[in-house]
A and B are shown apart, each in its own frame.
Chain A
Amino acid sequence: MKKLLKAIFYFVFVMGFIISYSLIDIAKTTRVTFVVSGILQGNIVSYKASGEPYRGMMVGGMPFLVSKISELRKKADKSRSAFYLLDCGDNFPGTAHSYYSQCRAVVDTMNLMGVSAMLLGNREFDYGFEVLKARAADANFPILAANVRNKNNGEAFEEFKDSLIFEVNKKGFKIGVLGITPPETLTDSTIKNVSELAMSGETETVELFMKKAAAQGVDFTVALTQLDFEKDTALLALLVKSGFNLVIGLDFTNQMSGVKKMGDTMVVALNGFAKGAQLTRAEILFDSETYKPFDYCAEIVPVIVNQIEADGGCAKIVSDYLRKLDAIMNQVIAVSEVYLKRPFNEETNFGNLIADYMLKAASAEVALQNAGSFRADIEAGDVTVGDVYNALPFDNDIVLLEVSGEVLYEVINTTCRRERGLLQIGGASYSYDANKAQSDGNADVITKLSIASAEIQLSRKYRVATNGFLASGQGGYPQLKNCPLIGCYDNLRETSMRFMREDKILNPRIEGRINRAGSK
């Protein structure tokens, strides 16, 4: 009994000493660690990096990312630093894993990361708003989207929050985080996915938050954005001007490390191509009385497979999804009698096959498919879901546009002139003279353009099926952007697979739809 009392006494004594010691330390400095994640784009599985600085290395993957984050969290705990994991969004869609699990695989594994707040990125809408809403409900972390409003009533969606206020300590040190979804979400997304959305102005959003922050006694304000520090200078200037203490954005140059100071605002960036291979860690030291930051640092944290021990629990979740995905990917949907070659600057059987499917799906007169949307060939023999997915990885929907003959002619002329991936065509054929293009950048290089075996009528309107990417004017064909949308159809890849299943045996041929004249 005496011994026990003695032990308790010593324990209390030592604990008291430790607590008072740490109180003294805390009294001087308050540390806060921000770890920035995001731009996962569905990459829950490690992959071989194709770009610098980790070219050739196995990087990323949720088991490693989760493990790395918990390592950073432990490090912060050790230095008695508060820890917040802020995520820049663009996480859910992007890979077969997320596509076939409807982003569940991503959210289930992200739930192990301990995200403090995630910004709603524009890519989150890729699989439709309903999928997004369901995943937002699955997530154990809040999703911020201060400028996203319901188009019908102008109010916020209950799935998302405008901002969050973190209480760093009991003494009232508060950090406010505002999430600004990229304003181009409305324009860059497939229209049907964002049909319910309205975006409020950034100035208005920022003002509202600043008022709220002031009212709640927030000491430190953070703007969680996807702004590109190179390009989105207007938004950055607005945030700096509004007095944000910290702006988190994206860096696509992969050169920005550390903290950039703009006036009193600290700017920290995450690699815009992070895809789970990089995190950014920023540590800020605050004066414990004024809560004014007096020192800061930031670093890029790589997630390299052979440098980290994977998180077992996460790996299990991932492998469960992988097995399910394999079951889907290994499904043989057809047998190809021929090697399906992806197109570039020529007509290929694969290009024709897909263009024909688009034509069929939209009951169009002409189908246009950019060569760049084909990423792989398919060998003769069994064609699996995986084969098709790898060949057509982009989640584009088929859309039907009303295109005037004039515009169509110009679009074809553009692709021929450039010769940087010829548009694959269905329901029509075209011939061009490459020599003319070389001599004059704006020349009319088309020698023949026939639709349904008839010469194109420039004054006529044609029903043209294409993908959402081209329809939004991207890919180098801005002419298409202004063409009236007259129909939305399913995902191009899924539609193609549906037709393949129906066909069973594939045997597309080169039919002389694209004819090139002139030297190489």
Chain B
Amino acid sequence: MNLKLSHKIILNFVMILIIPMILSVYLVSSDLAERTEKEIDNQLEFTTKIVNRFFYRSLDSMQVQLNLLAGAEKFRQTLENGDTAEITAAVKGWDAKLNYGFVDIYSLDSTTLDYRPFISVHKSKFNEVLAPEPQVFKKVARGKNHSSIVFAGEQKAYFRSVIKTADNLRSDRAYIICAYVLIPNDSIDAIKDITNIDVVIYDDKTSIISTRFDPTGSRTTGLKISPAAVAALEKAQSYREEEKFLGDYTVNVYSKIYDEDRNFRGYMCVLVPRRLFGIANMYVLNNLYIIMAISLALAALSGYLLSANIASPLKEFAKIAHATSEGDFKRKVLIDRSDEIGELSSAFNKMSDKLDIYNESLKRKMFEVTTLYEVSQSMNFLNNKDQLLTIILTKMIDALAAEKGSIMLYNAEECLISCEMAIGYPGKFERRVKFAPGEGKAGQAFKTGETIISNDIQSDSSFLRTQSTQTTDNVTRNMMCVPMKTKDEAIGVINIVNKKGAEGFNEDDKTLAVSLCTQAAMTIENARLYELSITDGMTRLFIHRYFQIRLDEEIKRSFRYGAPLSLVMTDIDHFKKFNDTYGHQVGDMVLIKVADIIRDTIRNEVDIPCRYGGEEFAIIAPQTGFEDAKRMAERIRSAVEVADLAGPDGKTLKITISLGIATYPINAKEKKDLILKADSALYYSKENGRNMAAHFSELPEKKEDGGH
């Protein structure tokens, strides 16, 4: 689960309270339930006791009174001597004191213990159901009293007390007096009214006395006892069951009723409404629930406050830290507090500041390194000087976030620095701006070898205004002039103009610019050195070795692309005569002149003019077939023919050249053969009158054969 800190805090608080509260509710409620059960048990036991006591007490008092009444000498005499009417009258006289239902008197032979019904007062008439059992007679005959509850089987229960009068010594006769008192419903009802607990008394099968009424208003007597209860009471003291009666749940407990001799007489059931006991507990539980609800609310509130106090700033902190981790060092934790969180946030802000600085400088360094790398990469693959300068300048303008710039190189012949490349200026670039070393900002930089930054160029007196810098769309606000140095020698200046943004160039820009310039100077110098190495010093055409290398390359390229390649070999006619007549200087001039014509006549950047050796030149013409090669050779030849060469003493000298052409792959399949074929064609030109161009394909057969 992905929970936020604030949620965790609130949850934590709530859990801290919930668990104990749930526990306490659980414990209290189970405790209360247990208590309720105990209370019910107690109540049941109590009620059972009350009922039992009521029974025994009634029986006891009945017996005591019966003993007193029957024991009276006068009564005994009446029994012995009186007639039925007299005895009946005497018994009826007791009614004032005892509310007897009826009284049965048995006569007993004291010696044999035989008994016979003697007189029945009121209506029992020795009712068989109610009459004492033989064992009771036996016991009473021996002089012990007996009392118990008896059931008449007609929904009526009686207290029955059996006593024996004292023996009449003269007649060996005694009397057993058996008195019955109806147990009135209201005596049990009184228990119900006091305890609010219903009582049902059963004989061995059906209910005889009940405090409970059914909805029709009848007492629930005459109902069969639950068989489960009877079965259970065979084994246990009591049996408990739950019942729903008139919408209320009651707990019913059955127990057995015994007489004083522990003889089973019937059953008793005590019915406790659960409702009576639930109430107090319900209040306790309700209070507990209220307390729980309040505690939970408080927990949630305190959790919320705590989370607002800790989690919210931390959340803010986390947000900023996240931004910082993404590289945004500018965002600050805005917590203005004096506690630990405040300290932490200010420390964090400081750290973030420092990181920002380090990061900026690192970025700068990275930028410089990257720029340098890119520049050098670009430069390494370029031989063309203009392209090289363009790349250098573009990269520098980009790297230094400027609007425009220019490169000025030192021309040793003129002793001036002249603008070789400019970017960002309106109009077409022209190589016309030139400064002497020490002149203007660029000149100063070149001369001193120090980088010059001028961020307020308009008020700088040493700034030289050119025409172009005066126009409105070409205002120079600030500039940086960086000298390009190889070893300790300056080869030129790079001017970077108008830094983007309000601020001018700073020291960082300077550092970067110097690095870049150093690289640029080296590259330019290297380019110059390379050019020198493959160029003939006098004619400024490519040297023989370069020729061999390039011819190899071009043949391979032609083979790869299936394009023709022509090689033109040329030789100055009668060159030896020029040397011999006018000296070597004129010979050199002739060579230079022819070389210049060749360079001007061929396709720039495509055809490769080389000094093959002595007065021989070779031109590699890629993608040039027979016709084109022929045309090109003819063009060169005629250009040389018409050219005038200033000779010594104001003479005008005329030169001619002979040319031989061979084309790959029609004339030769490989380099050496191609050179040989071109040479053969040249030889043919020389042989056939000079000042002409011959293609090997045009030579007579034998010549070709001769070539082999």
Do they bind each other? yes
Nearest-CB distance from A345 to chain B (Å)? 29
A-B contacts at CB below 8 angstroms, number = 76
Name the residue among A64, A311, A326 with the largest chain B CB count within 10 angstroms. Answer: A326
Question: B residues within 8 A CB of A164?
Answer: none
Question: B residues within 8 A CB of A380?
Answer: 123
Bound CA–CA A326/B211 (angstroms): 10
A58 within 8 A of partner (CB): yes
A241 within 8 A of partner (CB): no
B246 touches A332 (CB 8 A): no
A111 within 8 A of partner (CB): no
A19 within 8 A of partner (CB): no
A319 touches B213 (CB 8 A): yes
Closest B residue to A44 by CB, please name it.
Answer: B217
Closest B residue to A337 by CB, please name it.
Answer: B92
Nearest-CB distance from B664 to chain A (Å)? 81
Name the residue among A319, A335, A381 with the largest chain B CB count within 10 angstroms. Answer: A319
Q: Which of B191-210 contact A (CB under 8 A)?
A: 192-193
On whether A315 and B185 interact (CB within 8 A), knowing A64-B215, A310-B215, the answer reads no
Nearest-CB distance from A375 to chain B (Å)? 19
B182 within 8 A of partner (CB): yes
Select the stretch in B93-101, B287-295, B344-352, B552-560 that faces chain A.
B93-101
On whether A316 and B123 interact (CB within 8 A), knowing A46-B215, A323-B189, the answer reads no
B700 within 8 A of partner (CB): no
Question: B residues within 8 A CB of A61?
Answer: 215-217
The contact of A326 among B92, B189, B248, by CB within 8 Å, is: B189
A382 touches B182 (CB 8 A): yes
B185 touches A330 (CB 8 A): yes
Question: A residues within 8 A CB of B102?
Answer: 381
B215 touches A381 (CB 8 A): no
Closest A residue to B185 by CB, please name it.
Answer: A326
A259 within 8 A of partner (CB): no
Question: B residues within 8 A CB of A46?
Answer: 215-217
Bound CA–CA A324/B217 (angstroms): 12
Nearest-CB distance from B127 to chain A (Å)? 13
On whether A316 and B246 interact (CB within 8 A), knowing A45-B217, A46-B216, A61-B217, the answer reads yes
Bound CA–CA A310/B186 (angstroms): 25
Question: A residues within 8 A CB of B265?
Answer: none
Name the residue among B92, B122, B213 with the largest chain A CB count within 10 angstroms. Answer: B213
B215 touches A315 (CB 8 A): yes
The contact of B248 among A312, A327, A331, A335, by CB within 8 Å, is: A312
The contact of A330 among B92, B101, B184, B192, by CB within 8 Å, is: B184
B173 within 8 A of partner (CB): no
Bound CA–CA A44/B96 (angstroms): 36
Q: Which of A314-347 contact B (CB under 8 A)?
A: 315-316, 318-319, 322-324, 326-327, 330-332, 335
Bitwise interface map of B from 229 to 247 toward A, beta carbon under 8 Å scored 1, else 0: 0000000000000000011
A322 touches B217 (CB 8 A): yes
A318 touches B99 (CB 8 A): no
Question: A residues within 8 A CB of B7?
Answer: none
On whether A318 and B92 interact (CB within 8 A), knowing A310-B246, A330-B186, A381-B122, the answer reads no
The contact of A315 among B101, B193, B246, by CB within 8 Å, is: B246
Bound CA–CA A381/B156 (angstroms): 15
A313 within 8 A of partner (CB): yes
Question: A residues within 8 A CB of B123?
Answer: 380-381
B212 within 8 A of partner (CB): yes
The contact of A312 among B95, B190, B247, by CB within 8 Å, is: B247
Bound CA–CA A322/B247 (angstroms): 19
Name the residue among B99, B184, B192 with the largest chain A CB count within 10 angstroms. Answer: B184
A313 touches B247 (CB 8 A): yes
Closest A residue to B182 by CB, please name it.
Answer: A382
Bitwise interface map of B from 317 to 346 toward A, beta carbon under 8 Å scored 1, else 0: 000000000000000000000000000000
A327 touches B185 (CB 8 A): yes
Question: B residues within 8 A CB of A326?
Answer: 185-186, 189, 219
Bound CA–CA A270/B122 (angstroms): 49
A239 within 8 A of partner (CB): no
A505 touches B211 (CB 8 A): no
B182 touches A58 (CB 8 A): no
The contact of B211 among A310, A323, A330, by CB within 8 Å, is: A323
Nearest-CB distance from A334 to chain B (Å)? 10
A323 touches B213 (CB 8 A): yes
Question: B residues within 8 A CB of A332?
Answer: 99
A504 touches B95 (CB 8 A): yes
Nearest-CB distance from B190 to chain A (Å)? 8
Q: Which of A360-394 contact B (CB under 8 A)?
A: 380-382
Q: Which of B273-302 contact A (CB under 8 A)?
A: none
Closest B residue to A308 by CB, please name it.
Answer: B215
Question: B residues within 8 A CB of A355?
Answer: none
A351 within 8 A of partner (CB): no
Question: A residues within 8 A CB of B214?
Answer: 315
The contact of B193 among A323, A331, A335, by CB within 8 Å, is: A323
Bound CA–CA A225/B579 (angstroms): 165
A322 touches B215 (CB 8 A): no
A63 within 8 A of partner (CB): yes
Nearest-CB distance from B120 to chain A (Å)? 12
Question: A residues within 8 A CB of B99?
Answer: 332
Nearest-CB distance from B636 to chain A (Å)? 89
A318 touches B247 (CB 8 A): no
Q: Which of A1-56 contact B (CB under 8 A)?
A: 44-46
A305 within 8 A of partner (CB): yes
Q: Which of B99-125 contact A (CB under 8 A)?
A: 99, 101-102, 122-123
B217 touches A319 (CB 8 A): yes
Question: A residues within 8 A CB of B184?
Answer: 327, 330
On whether A318 and B213 interact (CB within 8 A), knowing A310-B246, A312-B248, A335-B95, the answer reads yes
Question: A residues within 8 A CB of B101?
Answer: 381-382
A45 touches B211 (CB 8 A): no
Nearest-CB distance from B245 to chain A (Å)? 8
Bound CA–CA A433/B679 (angstroms): 193
Bound CA–CA A167/B66 (angstroms): 71
Bound CA–CA A504/B193 (angstroms): 29
Bound CA–CA A315/B96 (angstroms): 38
Nearest-CB distance from B220 to chain A (Å)? 10
Bound CA–CA A140/B96 (angstroms): 46
Nearest-CB distance from B119 to chain A (Å)? 15
Q: Which of B56-109 contact A (CB under 8 A)?
A: 92, 95-96, 99, 101-102
Closest B residue to A43 by CB, please name it.
Answer: B217
Question: B residues within 8 A CB of A63?
Answer: 215-216
Bound CA–CA A505/B184 (angstroms): 20
The contact of B216 among A45, A313, A335, by CB within 8 Å, is: A45
Nearest-CB distance from A276 to chain B (Å)? 11
Q: Which of A203-229 contact B (CB under 8 A)?
A: none
Question: A residues within 8 A CB of B247?
Answer: 312-313
Question: A residues within 8 A CB of B212?
Answer: 319
B217 touches A318 (CB 8 A): yes
Nearest-CB distance from A128 to chain B (Å)? 26
B216 touches A58 (CB 8 A): yes
Bound CA–CA A232/B282 (angstroms): 58
Closest 5 CB pairs of A and B: A45-B217, A310-B215, A312-B247, A327-B186, A319-B213
Give chain A's interface residues, CB within 8 Å of chain B: 44-46, 58, 61, 63-64, 305, 310-313, 315-316, 318-319, 322-324, 326-327, 330-332, 335, 380-382, 504-505
Give chain B's interface residues, CB within 8 Å of chain A: 92, 95-96, 99, 101-102, 122-123, 182, 184-186, 189-190, 192-193, 211-217, 219, 246-248
A sample of 16 cross-chain residue pairs with beta-carbon separation below 8 angstroms, ordered by A number, consists of A45-B217, A46-B215, A46-B216, A61-B215, A310-B246, A311-B215, A312-B248, A316-B246, A319-B213, A322-B213, A323-B186, A326-B186, A326-B189, A330-B185, A335-B92, A382-B182
Beyond A335-B95, A381-B101, 19 extra complex contacts between A and B, CB < 8 Å: A44-B217, A45-B216, A61-B215, A61-B217, A63-B215, A64-B216, A305-B215, A310-B246, A316-B248, A318-B215, A322-B213, A323-B192, A323-B211, A326-B185, A326-B219, A332-B99, A381-B102, A381-B122, A382-B182
